Amino acid sequence: MKLRSDFQIVADLIPSDSRVLDLGCGHGELLAHLKASKNVNGYGIEIDPVGITSCIKAGVNVIEQNLDDGLHNFRSNSFDTVIMTETLQSVKRPDLLLEEMLRIGKQCIITYPNFGHWRLRAYLILRGRMPIAPYLPHSWYDTPNIHLCTFADFESLCHQLSLSIKERFVTDSKYRNRFLLNRMPNLFGTYAFYRLGKPSE
């Protein structure tokens, strides 16, 4: 089965033979791919019973845990990379979770949708309603996303927390990198991929 395009971008950032923790790992596709292609020793955290069952069937190590309860059960520097793909916007305290990710990991990789995209801005201005888009398909009252942010918001938070931005990739809705996206990412980018290092690195 072909790996999702966003997972492939993340996988390309992961060193071989490393220890990886995937927060909100879903059905475990990314970890299964990393194990097979890069000999990664990976663990996933998931709260959805269907996802947990899928991980077990795929041979992925999974822990049932709510990310909003923190990561206190993990030792500092116990992983090389901590991953969180399109989950940042659905946790109660993204700032605290980011700090925890870089406490237990040497680096972390974050992906999330950009709420500052021009189409969403236009939707709000012209319709006067909370935007709905293919990558943000829920209505305001049933969305799992409770902390939507723009690229500028996220980078401001990284600055406040003294987190080091090692790499940033900006893509369109099909996870393609385009020239215009890099010129004005906060206006035209749909998804962001960040590789972060520990404070003061």
Rounded to a whole number of angstroms, the CA Rg of the chain reads 17
pLDDT of residue 201: 56
How far apart are the C-alpha atoms of 199 and 184, rounded to whole Å? 27
Secondary structure class of 150 (helix, strand, coil): coil
Q: Which among 164, 165, 171, 161 has a CA at the least distance from the CA of 191?
A: 171
Residue-range domain boundaries for the chain: 5-113+150-183+191-197
Give the side-chain half-sphere CA count within 13 A for 23: 31
Strands 191-197 and 105-113: antiparallel
- Whether residue 109 contacts residue 193, with contact meaning beta carbons closer than 8 Å, is answered with yes
Domain 5-113+150-183+191-197, second-level architecture: 3-Layer(aba) Sandwich (3.40)
Per DSSP, 126 falls in state: H
Give the side-chain half-sphere CA count within 13 A for 85: 20
Q: Which among 8, 21, 56, 17 has a CA at the least distance from the CA of 40?
A: 17
Tell me the per-residue pLDDT of 89-129, one tens digit each, with 9 for 90 and over: 999 999 999 999 999 999 999 999 999 999 899 988 999 98
Task: Identify the segments of the chain with pLDDT beneath 70.
Answer: 1, 200-201
Residues contacting residue 141 through CB under 8 Å, at least 6 positions apart:
none
pTM for the full model?
Answer: 0.92
pLDDT of residue 18: 97
Give residue 95's Cα distance to chain centre: 13
- Measured at the CA of 199, the angle between CA 195 and CA 201, to 5 degrees, comes to 75
pLDDT of residue 109: 98
How far apart are the C-alpha atoms of 4 and 171, rounded to whole Å? 14
- Measured at the CA of 62, the angle between CA 23 and CA 114, to 5 degrees, comes to 20
